[in-house]
Amino acid sequence: MFSIPTRRSATRRAPRRGRAAATSILLLAASLTGSFAATLGTAATAHADTAPPPPAGWTTVFSDSFGGPAGSAPAAANWLYDIGTGYGTGEREQTTNSTNNVYQDGNGHLVLKAINNGGTWTSARIESTRGDFAAPAGGKMEMTASIQQPNPANGLGYWPAFWALGSPMRTGGGWPGAGELDMMEDVNGLNQASQTLHDNAGSSGHGLIACPAAGSGCQTGYHTYSVIVDRTNTSAESLQFVMDGTVESTVTEASVGTAAWQQAIDHGFFMIFDLAMGGNYPDGVQGSATPTAATTSGASMSVAYVAVYEQGGNSTPTATPTATGQVTGVGGVCLNNQAALNTPSNPIGVGNCDGSAGQQWSPYTDGTLRAQGGCLDAVSAGTTSGTDVDWYPCNGTAAQGWTRQANGELVNTNSGLCLGVPGGNTSARLDIETCTAAATQLWTLPAGSAGSNTVTVTNPGNQSGTVQTAASLQLHASDSASGQTLAYSAAGLPAGLSINAATGLISGTPTAAGTSNVTVTATDSTGASGTTAFTWTVNPAGGGCGTTNLALNKPVTASSTENVGTPATAAVDGNSGTRWSSAASDPQWLQVDLGSVQSICKVTLNWETAYATGFQIQTSNDATNWTSIYSTTTGTGGTQTLNVTGTGRYLRLYGTARATQYGYSLWEFQAFGS
C-alpha cells in the first residue's frame, strides 16, 4: 500500500498574474456551463450552506453541506483523515482526527482549527474517500467549495488549502506527474488566494491575489473557489481556475504538452481540505520561519459546502451494499478496523464484537468489503502468503476484491489467497494466506449478504433478424467465484424468442417486426448477478439484408500492415486467397469508405489463423467519430457472420485483443445493407 502523498503545492509557487478584464470575463460567461457560470462578472453572494443544484446538462456527482450535529466528525462515508506531520513541505503542525481540530459546527459548516499547545501545533487534513472525480472524454468536470479562510489577529504561518490530487497517487503514481489542482491556498492571514496546476511540465496558474468580489474579504466572508476541467475537445483540453465566479487563469493542454497533460489530468481526482501551520509557502512569503510565538492560536477555516459536477458523464459509483453488519471469524470474534480509524493503511485485526463503526462491514456488488467509507485491502497489492491487510480508500483495484467461497473462505481476487488470522493469534494483524479451509480462514458475512461474487455477462452486440426466420444467439457469462452455477433470464425479447435458463441460449422464430430492448441477467447460487443490454431488430419477411457486398473494392485504409504483401486492399478485393495482416500489437484497425451513408445489417469476417478474440465493428459518417454496432471479447475466428444494425459511410473493424502472437489477419471483410 502506498503512503499518504508527502508533497503539496508549496514546493513551487505560481507567479502572480493579473485577472482578466471584466469585458473578457463577461464574454466567457456565454461559453461556460459550470455552476459558476451564472455568476461571472457579478459580486460574490453571501455564503450558502447547501451546495447549488447542477446547471442544465450537468450532474452532481458529489456534494457535502456538512449538516451534522455540533461537534460531530465529518461523515466517514465521504472523508478520511491524514494523520501525520511535515508532508514534505516543512509544515510544522501535527494533523489529527480529533474533533478539537476538525468537526461540524451544527450550522452547516465543516471547521478545521489550528491549536497551539505549548509550542506544539495541532490541526487537520482530510481527503475525500472517493478518488474518481474526473472530466469524461468529451465532457467537463467542476470541483468547487464555499470557504471562509481563517481570520487570526496574527496569522503568520497559517496555510489553509482546498486542493485535489490525481487518483494515481493512491496506487503508486508519483508527484507531480499524477497531477495536483490547487483551488485555494492562502498564507499568513493575507486577504488573498492562489490557484495552481502542478505537473511534470512545471505548469502554474496564478499567484496570490485578492478575493475578487465586493462585500467581504477572504477572511470575513464565504467565497467560492473552483476549477473546471474541460475535455470537450480531447485534442485541445484546458482547465480554468475560478474565484467567486471570475475566471482568474486558464491552462491549456497545448501550453503544458500532451504527454504531461494527459498524465496529470485525464484520470480521477480526490479532494483535500487542510489547515497547515508553517512550511515552505508561508515561510517564503514572510521571508522567515513561521509560525512565531506571536501567531494567534485557535483560528479556523470554515467550509459551507463542497460539490463536484460533471457534464457528459457521471462518475457516481454504481456498486451498492448487499448488507451491513459484523463479519465474524474464528471463536466468534469480529473483523475490526483498528480503533475505528478511517485513515489510509490502518491495520485490520479481530476483536470482541462491540458494534463499533470499525466493525460495521458491507459486502458490495463490485466484490469489495467496506467499512467507514474505505475498503479491505491487501497491502501494496501483495500476492505472497503473509501479506498484511489494511483499511484503504477504495480504488477499484483487484487488491480490494474479495470472493466468499461456499465454505466461508474470503479469497482475495488479486492474489487468490485467503483472509486469515495468522497462527490463530487474535491479537495479530490479519493477512492473506494460502487457502487451507482452516477455521482461522472462515468468515460469516452480515445477515442478508448476497455474497461478494462478481458476475459478468458478455455483451453480444445489437442483433437483427427476420420475421418467420429461426434465430439463435448464445450468451456467455463468467463468475469471479469458482464452482458457481449460473441461471439466465431475459427481459424484452422479441415475440417468439426465449432463453434457456441453464445454458443462456436464446432461440426461436420471431413472429413480429420491430426493435426490442433486451436485457439478459445471469445469477449465481449466492444471489450475485450481472446484466447486459442490447437491441434486437426484427425485419419484415421479404425484406431483410441484401446480398451485395458494399465493401467490395472500396477505398480502404489500415492502422498498419505486416508487409507489402499483405495490404489493406487485399481484405476487400473479393479474393479469398489474398489477405490483410497488421503489425503484432494492440489495437489495430481496418477502415472501409463505402462512398455514401449506408444502412448496414450484416458484416462477414473471413479470418486467417491470426484472428481477434476482442474486437468491435464501428460506423462513422466522418471517419472521426465512431459508433460501435458490435463488440465481443470472445471472438472465435474462422468465418464470422455478424448480424448488426447501424448506419454510416465508413465501416471499421477495431481489434483490441489478438488470439495469437501475430497481428490481425483477414482474408475478406464484407458488409451488406438492408
pLDDT of 134 above 70: yes
Three-state DSSP class for residue 492: coil
Using an 8 Å Cβ cutoff, are 413 and 403 in contact?
Answer: yes
Gap between the terminal Cα atoms of the chain: 55
- Looking at the predicted structure, is the pLDDT value of residue 316 above 90? no
Question: For 256, phi and psi rounded to 5 degrees?
Answer: -90, -40
Rounded Cα distance, 381 and 417, in Å? 12
Q: What is the pLDDT of residue 10?
A: 32
pTM of the model: 0.63
Same CATH fold assignment for domains 9-21+61-138+148-223+254-304 and 556-673: yes
CATH topology for 330-441? Trefoil (Acidic Fibroblast Growth Factor, subunit A) (2.80.10)
pLDDT, position 542: 63
pLDDT tens-digit series, residues 507-521: 999 888 778 888 888
For residue 171, pLDDT over 50 is answered with yes
Mean pLDDT score of the chain? 87
Q: What is the mean pLDDT of residues 45-56?
A: 71
Contacts of 425 (CB under 8 A, 6+ apart): none
Q: Tell me, what's the pLDDT at 448?
A: 65
CA distance 513 to 543: 11
Question: Residue 514: in which H helix or E strand, if any?
Answer: strand 514-523
Say what the pLDDT of residue 302 is.
97
Per-residue pLDDT, averaged over 105-117, amounts to 96
Residue 100's region, left for phi above 0, alpha for psi from -120 to 50, else beta, is: alpha
What is the pLDDT averaged over residues 595-621? 92
Cβ neighbors of 409 (< 8 A, separation 6 or more) are 418, 419, 435, 437, 441, 442, 443
pLDDT at residue 14 is higher than 50: no
Question: Could you tell me the CATH superfamily of domain 455-539?
Answer: Immunoglobulins (2.60.40.10)
Question: Which pLDDT value is given to residue 558?
Answer: 95
| pLDDT (0 to 100) of residue 31 | 33
CATH 2.60.120.200 fits 9-21+61-138+148-223+254-304, yes or no: yes
Determine the 3-state secondary structure of 243 from DSSP.
strand
**For residue 3, is pLDDT > 80?**
no
Dist. CA 133–CA 163, nearest whole Å: 13
How do the domains of the chain map onto residue ranges? Answer: 9-21+61-138+148-223+254-304, 330-441, 455-539, 556-673
* DSSP codes joined into one string, 92-137: EEEE---TTTEEE-SSS-EEEE-EEETTEEEE-EEEES---B-PPT
* Pick from 58-72, 95-109, 429-443, 621-635: least confident: 621-635
- Indicate the CATH number for domain 556-673: 2.60.120.260
- Cβ atoms of residues 249 and 17 within 8 Å: yes
Residues 344-390: tens digit of each pLDDT? 999 999 999 999 999 999 999 888 999 999 999 999 999 999 999 99
191 vs 211: CA distance, rounded Å: 7
